[in-house]
Amino acid sequence: MANKPMTKTQLVAALADEMGSDKKTAGAALDAITDIVTKEVAGGGAVTLPGIGKIYCRERPERMVRNPATGEQIKKDADKQVKVTIAKALKDSVNG
């Protein structure tokens, strides 16, 4: 079974250690990156995080879906979906 995912507190502590900085600065840096990615993707753009991957928004057209409980066909409006394409370097480091 897989380990539990790293929490934000653990990520901030690891980032502070890697940067040689305090947790407050590392937390502010993480929050700034999160805000920038959110604004860019919400505006229809894409963000590439080197070594990690590309985060972008994809528009899905209006479509027919089925309610699994009743089998009834219903129309689902067009919407947007956030997608992440993982970088080859990260895939290779995990698989190699």
Condensed to tens digits (0 to 9), the pLDDT of residues 23-33 reads 999 999 999 99
CATH code for position 80 = 4.10.520.10
Which structural domain, as residue segments, surrounds residue 1? 1-43
Whether residue 26 sits in one domain with residue 57: no
Same domain, 20 and 63: no
Q: Please, which pLDDT band fits residue 3 given cuts at 50, 70 and 90? A: confident
User: Does pLDDT of 1 surpass 60?
Assistant: no
Cα separation of 35 and 92, whole Å? 29
Q: How far apart are CA 96 and CA 33, in angstroms?
A: 29
Rounded to two decimals, the pTM is 0.76
Q: Are residues 39 and 49 in the same domain?
A: no
Query: What digits encode the pLDDT tens for the residues 8-60?
Result: 999 999 999 999 999 999 999 999 999 999 999 999 999 999 999 999 999 99
| Same-domain check for residues 39 and 59 | no
Question: How many folded domains does the chain comprise?
Answer: 2
